[in-house]
A and B are shown apart, each in its own frame.
Chain A
Amino acid sequence: MERIPLYVLLVFDGRYLFIPQEEVESVEIIADVQITRSSTSVIGWFFGHGNESPVFCLAKDLSLLSEIPKSREYFVLLKNEQQPLGITCDEVENINFKREHLHPQELHPVMRIVGSPVRQLLVYQEKIACVCSGAALVKHLNLQLEPLEQSETT
């Protein structure tokens, strides 16, 4: 049976990011985040679905922000083996690639680097959107967190 290409679109800082819907636990509102101040770039915690989930803010270049921009109204909870993990966004939408006639292109070989969460690109609303796997995005976040956690312990 043909797989339905369902994706969740996250928009933040003008960045358009698609994540497969099957890798998303839920979409929540930012008011449900318990905001904390931490040097590890966790901007807050979400206590729901029987878990304590850290919530992160990404900048346009997918680096971690330590403060929440005012425009962030939602967060997407990504599935993760240890605990779900939240990423804030300004807008969020469910998109069926087939219905919207969206055709992602593989990232060109000359653009690829090891560990990049970006797998494909597509034209969406006259902009370029990135298609990421949820697992690769979690890995990308963890890679950025490691040096921060190390500097905190020293």
Chain B
Amino acid sequence: MIEEDVAETSRAWLLDFGSGLQAAVGHHEMLQVLISPTLFDIPCVSPYCNEVLIHEERILPVLDVSSMLLEKQQVTSPPTGYVIGISLYQDDPTHPIHYGGLHLATTPQSIYVSDNQACDILAHQEYWKPLALSCFSHEGVAIPVIDMAYLFSEAFNTFIQSSH
């Protein structure tokens, strides 16, 4: 009997951060999507994370990934129609779950990814390298799977501030 190689398939969320930045996270790493929630601006903080929202009695940071990685000026959220994804992450499986908001250009797309879609990060997508756990090809585009805990970490924030 010939054993067939069966590629493992996983569910993921495809996130569009705007400015051509797309990345994927595990299906369990997105909690909710909010349309035009009330955002509060905070002074004297990082330019890519200067807003927060109140979610279930917690104050969550709202991160603009395209501003963080591409050093773009953060655009003030329009009065209506903007999308905020609530992600969850753990620094370590033994640590409590943390929540964070992400500015998104559109609502996340649920996709299936198989092992045989694996590819390398493209040279012009260098900015994803510190965050990427792996990468796959989706509709002809290389999509990194990003480490959400590292994205929201002090270490990555320090790295970004020293490299800007």
Contacts and interface: CB of A to CB of B under 8 A. Distances in A.
Interface of A: 15, 60-62, 105, 107-118, 121-123, 127-128, 130, 140
A113 B161 contact: yes
A121 B59 contact: yes
Contacts of B44: 61-62, 113, 115-118, 140
Interface stretch (B11-19, B50-58, B118-126): B50-58
Given A121-B59, A128-B52, A109 B42 contact: no
A15 B43 CA distance: 9
B152 interface: yes
B45 A116 contact: yes
A138 to B, nearest CB: 14
Interface residues of B, number: 24
Closest 3 CB pairs of A and B: A109-B154, A128-B40, A108-B61
Contacts of B43: 15, 60-62, 118, 130
B153 interface: yes
Contacts of A111: 42, 45-46, 49-50, 52, 61
B83 interface: no
A111 B57 CA distance: 19
A112 B54 contact: no
A99 to B, nearest CB: 19
B69 to A, nearest CB: 13
A114 B46 CA distance: 9
Interface of B: 40, 42-46, 49-50, 52, 54, 57-61, 63, 100, 151-154, 156-157, 161
Given A121-B52, A127-B40, A128-B40, A112 B45 contact: yes
B101 to A, nearest CB: 10
A133 B10 CA distance: 48
Contacts of A130: 42-43
A115 B44 CA distance: 8
State the majority secondary structure of interface residues on B: mixed
A117 B43 CA distance: 9
Name which of B49, B57, B60, B152 has the most chain A CB atoms within 10 A of its CB. Answer: B49
A110 B152 contact: yes
Nearest to A113: B46
A113 B44 CA distance: 7
A91 B42 CA distance: 19
A117 to B, nearest CB: 6
B100 A108 contact: yes
B45 A118 contact: yes
Given A121-B52, A123-B59, A110 B42 contact: no
Nearest to B160: A110
10 contacts: A15-B43, A62-B44, A105-B59, A108-B61, A110-B154, A111-B61, A112-B46, A116-B44, A117-B44, A128-B52
Interface centre among B43, B153, B157 (most CB of A within 10 A): B43
